[in-house]
Chain A
């Protein structure tokens, strides 16, 4: 691999004087942000060693903290999407619902959010207003309050319009703990809707691909849907919202975390026609395409029918489907069974999928 030391130095350079010794000269590439293998390496090699496994706990969507009187959930997320506005949503909606969803995924009711903006010099104020209006509307619809925030501005060229970081606090509403350690052999997997919408909508906008068709982001707050499951007494074992890296990456992460086999049945995985067609055209696999309004639910198999009925009666769960099951045949592996009966082991991608011609 390349020697990149020539563009880096420990003296006062582009990044200031770094007191740490030369670390091999490796640079962050876009693939480090894709949610795939390189992102995992950053977590394993840098963040966990620094912050400690205990405090980063189970690497679930949110951290649950025992607080006198109740259990809180706490999470944070950053949003750097480009373009800021895309079919079906914008960065403002994403910033709120992303954090709302992370809190919901650990069985908590999202309550309070903080919002930090890093704005690039030159961004039209009208754009900022639109983004903030989206955030406000999304928060209102999700029933959460934005209670604190911060704003910074960086010089032109040092940002991408606006970067948003949201942190959120929620209060546990699930009667039992919810997380990967609760997953049992025999559990079923439900996906709350068809996959791949967000990633395709954004890719088309970002790469200037000029595809016409119903490609819209699925960005949505899922807490209402999750609350209904708990209100109905569904014994949810684990939930995971599907974001970058898509359904397949979430399945891999869950399998590794619970050390059981997650078996997915490909024909059962719902993919809308436009997403399927766009993926075919660009040579992409919809199972790895990002979502922003879909989640996986692992629950006892005998509760599937009731759970599906609840999901189907909610606008965000209309396409919910059972897509797999959990057993212990290959601990730590996520498997995908094709329509032909053959199975492959799923693994994270090296980086983002890109349109291909081969």
Chain B
């Protein structure tokens, strides 16, 4: 790093600046010569796009397709059922990120289980769950470890700490997913309409861009690492459109100040040390081989699914037969097209995960409703 940031540097406000947004929209407008469909991978990007109305502001021919980057939405119902089971077990405390609390499994959510006596604690970090294990040695603390590559390194560190300290009343119920296998599956589906991809900026802070070269090459689709603020999203979209207009399909990085091309090698080393690739079911989509991260054998004592017995079996649990979450997550349908959207399916009465997850596409469409 050669330079230093000025003393009054504000890391956020320049990337929300309305004048910069306007200038970028003009730049995009002048670059576009035909319609393009661009998928943003991450639920957080979908949320920001809907909240600020960026999709409305873009030229008419540019369509934003929402991707499956919502770890809450894709956590299998059976995993939630197991989390619910553990929360109801005497002497257990189920710790979870707030995001998961209201998502129903095949029956209960953690919230409804709590109202019938489940022991649940919302935590900000896996380290907070570990701290609870230290403070309450008489209780079995289970942490519901969901997330993409952004979140898993922290989980790895927490498990490593537990092992190093010899903490035995702590374990993780893992439902961790990785992007490249899912993106490959999406682009390999003949019915996809994706011209360009906005890669998830924070996932790439960990992984770097390496794995995306082969994908861009194979499917001839530009992949641009993109952030989450309005200016960052438009920078990514602008870069993607430049490539599309030029007919190129490289990996670009418009979020380089945070996501280095090389990612975070220390974080990746933590992942490799503690986790290994596993086949993972994505709710609404099905099993994507090698798309998950599970605990290695040497950490089996910290794997809740190996430590405890469960009544609910891992397998395919169908959501409401009309729920089209699988299509929404793959970008094949928008939430508004669903016949249940806003009728029988609302955040308070969800038929599927994308409506109840804060980052889900359906929830984003519902909460940030447009008017005609």
The stretch that binds A, out of B102-110, B205-213, B265-273, B329-337, is B102-110
Flag whether A7 is at the interface (Cβ < 8 A): yes
- Our pick among A333, A351, A356, A357 for the contact of B371 (Cβ within 8 Å) is A333
Binds B, one of A27-35, A128-136, A312-320: A27-35
Which residues of chain A are near B358, meaning CB under 8 Å? 283, 356, 358
Give the docked Cα–Cα distance between A344 and B112 (Å): 30
B residues less than 8 Å from A27 (CB atoms): 112, 115-116
* A339 in the interface (beta carbon within 8 A): yes
B44 at the A interface (CB under 8 A)? yes
Evaluate contact between A344 and B97: CB separation under 8 angstroms. no
CA distance A1 to B114 in the complex (A): 15
In contact, A358 and B359 (Cβ under 8 angstroms): yes
CB pair B348 A350 closer than 8 Å: yes
Contact B53 A340 (CB under 8 A): yes
B-chain residues with CB within 8 Å of residue A345 when the two chains form the complex: 369-371
Residues of B within 8 A of A358 (CB): 43-44, 70-72, 97, 99, 357-359
Q: Are B107 and A2 in contact, with the CB atoms below 8 A?
A: yes
Question: Is B347 close to A, CB under 8 A?
Answer: yes
Residue with the greatest number of chain B CB neighbours at <10 A, chosen from A29, A333, A343: A29
With both beta carbons as reference points, the residue of chain A lying nearest to B69 in the complex is identified as A358
Interface residues of A toward B: which range? Answer: 35 or more
Shortest distance from the beta carbon of A80 to any chain B beta carbon, whole Å? 15
Q: Which residues of the other chain, A, contact B371 by a CB distance below 8 angstroms?
A: 330, 333, 335, 343, 345
Residues A2 and B53 in contact, CB atoms below 8 Å apart: no
Q: Does A282 contact B (CB under 8 A)?
A: yes
Asked if B101 and A29 sit within 8 Å, CB to CB, the answer is no
Say yes or no for A3: interface residue by CB 8 A criterion.
Answer: yes
Q: Say yes or no: is A347 at the interface (Cβ < 8 Å to chain B).
A: yes
The interface residues of chain B lying within 8 Å CB-to-CB of A31 are 102, 111, 348
Docked CA distance A355–B97 (Å): 7
Contact yes or no, B51 A207, CB < 8 A: no
Instruction: Kindly report which residue of chain A lies nearest to residue B72, judged by CB atoms.
Output: A358
Judging by beta carbons under 8 Å apart, are A2 and B112 in contact? yes
B369 to chain A: closest residue by CB: A345
Name the CB-closest residue of B to A7.
Answer: B116
**Complex partner residue of B369 from A41, A209, A344, A356, CB under 8 angstroms:** A344
- Does B367 touch A at the CB level, under 8 Å? yes
Choose from B44, B111, B147, B230 the contact partner of A29 (Cβ within 8 Å): B111
Whether A125 sits at the interface, judged by CB under 8 Å, is no
**Chain B residues in 8 Å Cβ range of A30:** 111, 114-115
Q: Find chain A residues with CB under 8 A from B57 CB.
A: 340-342
B299 at the interface (CB under 8 A from A): no
In the complex formed, the residue of B with least CB distance to A356 is B99
Docked-complex contact B107 and A347, CB < 8 angstroms: no
Question: Are A340 and B21 neighbours in the complex by a CB distance under 8 Å?
Answer: yes
Please report which residues of chain A, range 264-281, place their CB below 8 angstroms from some CB of chain B when the two chains form the complex: 280
Instruction: Write the chain A residue with the least CB distance to B12.
Output: A280
Q: A2 with B111: in contact, given A209-B124, A350-B347 (CB under 8 Å)?
A: no
| Contact digits for B274-307, partner A, Cβ 8 Å, 1 yes 0 no | 0000000000000000000000000000000000
A7 to B366, CA, bound (A): 33
Query: Is the CB–CB distance between A4 and B70 below 8 Å?
Result: no
Q: Which residues of A contact B97 (CB under 8 A)?
A: 355-358
Q: How far is the CB of B314 from chain A (nearest CB, A)?
A: 19
| Shortest Cβ gap from B366 to chain A (Å) | 7
Q: Give A339 to B20 CA distance when docked, in angstroms.
A: 12
| Closest chain B residue to A211, Cβ basis | B124
B356 CB within 8 Å of chain A: yes
- Bound together, the chains give a CA A339 to CA B151 distance in angstroms of 31
Nearest CB in chain B: distance from A151 CB, A: 28
A342 CA to B358 CA in the complex, in Å? 21
Question: Is A225's CB within 8 Å of the partner chain B?
Answer: no
Provide the B81-118 mask, 1 if CB < 8 A to any CB of A, else 0: 00000000000000001110110100110011011100
Interface presence of B340 (CB below 8 A): no
Which residues of A sit under 8 angstroms from B112, Cβ to Cβ?
A: 1-2, 4, 27, 29
- Residue on B with the closest CB to A282? B124
- Residue B37 lies at the interface, judged by CB distance under 8 Å to chain A: no
Q: Does A178 contact B (CB under 8 A)?
A: no
Bound-state Cα–Cα, A77 to B349, Å: 28
The answer to whether A354 and B151 have CB atoms under 8 Å apart is no
Q: Which residues of B contact A36 (CB under 8 A)?
A: 348
Given known pairs A27-B116, A330-B371, A355-B122, the reply for A340 and B98 (CB within 8 Å) is no
In the assembly, what is the distance between CA of A282 and CA of B123, in Å?
11
B346/A354 in contact, CB under 8 A: no
Is A182's CB within 8 Å of the partner chain B? no
B192 contacts the other chain (CB 8 A): no
Counting CB contacts under 8 A, is A349 at the interface?
yes
Q: How far is the CB of B29 from chain A (nearest CB, A)?
A: 15
Whether B368 sits at the interface, judged by CB under 8 Å, is: yes
Using known A-B contacts A2-B112, A3-B107, A27-B112, determine if residue A207 contacts B366 with beta carbons closer than 8 Å: no
Q: Which residues of A contact B108 (CB under 8 A)?
A: 2
Asked if B56 is an interface residue, CB under 8 A from chain A, the answer is yes
Min Cβ gap A259→B in Å is: 15
Distance in angstroms from A357 CB to nearest chain B CB is 5
Query: Does chain B have a CB within 8 A of A338?
Result: yes
**A38: interface (CB < 8 Å):** yes
Contact B99 A354 (CB under 8 A): yes
Let me know if B116 and A340 touch, CB within 8 A: no
Q: Is B310 an interface residue (CB 8 A)?
A: no
- Could you tell me if B347 and A343 are in contact, using CB atoms closer than 8 angstroms? no
B34 located at the interface, meaning its Cβ lies under 8 Å from any Cβ of chain A in the complex:
no
Cα distance, A358 to B73, chains bound together (Å): 11
Flag whether B61 is at the interface (Cβ < 8 A): no
- For window 104-148 of B, CB contacts with A under 8 Å fall at 104, 107-108, 111-112, 114-116, 122, 124, 128, 147
B340 CB to closest chain A CB, in angstroms?
14
What are some 6 contacts across the A-B interface (CB < 8 A)?
A1-B349, A37-B348, A207-B122, A339-B16, A343-B371, A358-B358
Beyond the given pairs A2-B112, A351-B102, 7 more chain A to chain B contacts, judged by CB atoms under 8 angstroms and listed by A's residue number, are: A2-B104, A29-B114, A30-B114, A31-B102, A342-B57, A349-B367, A358-B72
